[in-house]
A and B are shown apart, each in its own frame.
Chain A
């Protein structure tokens, strides 16, 4: 991809990643969402699915770059995609807290617009015990939250300045946790569905394929010692991505 096109492609990627959010907002405004029997369930699955799908796309970038040198500047989109995955994962978490757990948004909003802002907090106190119980008892909640916390850590350390402060190798070590986050997201999905349902299977197979691609790549380059003075390709790409990102700003 010619470098001069990258800003334009980035704009397109932004629009594509925001499209699901705009779609759901448009459906809310048109009333179509309220006509659905269970819009909360719809929003929960919608945000969860898009978080996982965008995360999988971001994980596809590294294997794709290795296919052909001309694809190497796909790296410029990896952080962007990762942050959007975190964005949808956060919407997913917010759906759980504010729509799923019994938080009365209407009362909170009434309080807010009628001079009783404490209502927002009071509603939180109402649902807190059930959320705490979910965290204690329900493994699909635990593993889902783990995935979000990992993505949060990666999002917080994603700016170029943090990468420089941490050093490329440490930064890369931390960001390998994205595999754990993706696997946790898939497990979260498997643990919440009913027996006999296999809807998480396509996502799980894609994740497995992406991880296998990396594994094969490592096996094919056995001779690179860890103490090699040259920065390894992963670090280099991360540093490169940061450099290019900062130069394009």
Chain B
């Protein structure tokens, strides 16, 4: 049993060596098995225990580690923009206990070989979870340093087998009035976000299930979110229920609300003309927040600037 687990998790395979077909058409577990045939596994005590909120996750140290002092979990989990649970940043921590993270599945549709629905527990165990420490820069000019647990979104994209015509991904977050009694009016719910295919495939883009070595607190986007560390925080969609592959730039909620302010790309940019200055940020860590200069692409320029080579970043903000 344990042998089979190891194989399914793929923990002995460096992620860089994996291509979709070598995964799905060799002796390793098939795509079909991944999608539907893991009943036996989910029944195992190990997986069942990991399925519930705030459980410790088994992680391996990831490649990307920011060395700045980390934000304490107590702050990262009480200062959240998760408008479905109220527009003040202290409200999600108070209200999001009504979010049911099980049962949960993610529906994959659009320009893929075959639309499918993935169970959250299968998704969590698809690849070993890496612990990566990222800077997180909110468009509101504050920032945190957070250890996230997940694996590169590219692994999942490959798994979905997108068609060559797929150029973008849209992420749709859960919307359910019953679970969101504080849902504010005036927003084009559900929350949507999107990435260009090369952004989604970038190794920094993390499909995230936990932080600080445990499953995500509800207010931080449980049970699954993305984290795109070189973009304003709102690009990192929470509590995802649908991933749609498209050939056109998909609608994203903040862009729909205010396209002048929130562009599709939304890369962190200290020079951007915005209602308030983005030149500096309040770094939230253990002590009283201090002001630090905001870096282009949130300091990830070495890795991601090439994605935007030749693009006018004042136009594609």
Contacts and interface: CB of A to CB of B under 8 A. Distances in A.
Nearest to B83: A196
Nearest to B93: A37
Report the interface size class on chain B.
20 to 34
A74 to B, nearest CB: 34
A192 B276 contact: yes
Given A37-B79, A38-B284, A195-B261, A138 B289 contact: no
Given A195-B258, A196-B184, A39 B275 contact: no
A198 B79 contact: no
Interface stretch (A16-24, A62-70, A129-137): A129-137
Given A102-B291, A130-B279, A138-B276, A37 B89 contact: yes
A38 B277 contact: no
A37 B184 contact: no
Contacts of A192: 275-276
A40 B277 contact: no
A37 B284 contact: yes
Interface residues of A, number: 29
B256 to A, nearest CB: 9
Interface in B280-296: 280, 282, 284, 287-291
A35 interface: yes
A38 B276 CA distance: 17
Contacts of A197: 87
A130 B280 contact: yes
Nearest to B276: A138
Nearest to B292: A102
A34 interface: yes
A199 interface: yes
Contact of A39 (B74, B187, B289): B289
Contacts of A119: none
A41 B291 contact: no
B277 A39 contact: no
B186 A138 contact: no
B257 interface: yes
Contact of A104 (B140, B254, B291): B291
Contacts of A104: 290-291
Contacts, number: 67
A131 B187 CA distance: 32
Contacts of B254: 195
Given A137-B273, A138-B276, A192-B276, A37 B75 contact: yes
A197 B140 CA distance: 14
B230 interface: no
Interface string B70-113: 01001110110001000101000000000000000000000000
Contacts of A140: 275-276
B186 A38 contact: no
Nearest to B288: A34
B190 to A, nearest CB: 14
Interface string B278-317: 0110101001111100000000000000000000000000
B142 interface: yes
A191 interface: yes
A104 to B, nearest CB: 7
A133 B275 contact: no
B31 to A, nearest CB: 40
Contacts of B277: 130, 133-134, 138
Contact of B275 (A33, A130, A191): A191
A198 B186 contact: yes
B265 to A, nearest CB: 18
A202 to B, nearest CB: 14
A196 B257 CA distance: 7
B74 to A, nearest CB: 7
Interface string A81-99: 0000000000000000000
Given A102-B291, A130-B280, A195-B254, A38 B142 contact: yes
User: Lowest 3 A-B CB distances belong to which pairs?
Assistant: A37-B79, A102-B291, A37-B75
8 contacts: A37-B71, A37-B284, A38-B79, A38-B89, A101-B280, A139-B275, A196-B87, A196-B184
Given A138-B277, A198-B186, 14 more contacts: A33-B288, A36-B75, A37-B78, A37-B284, A38-B89, A38-B284, A38-B289, A39-B289, A41-B140, A101-B291, A130-B279, A134-B276, A195-B254, A196-B187
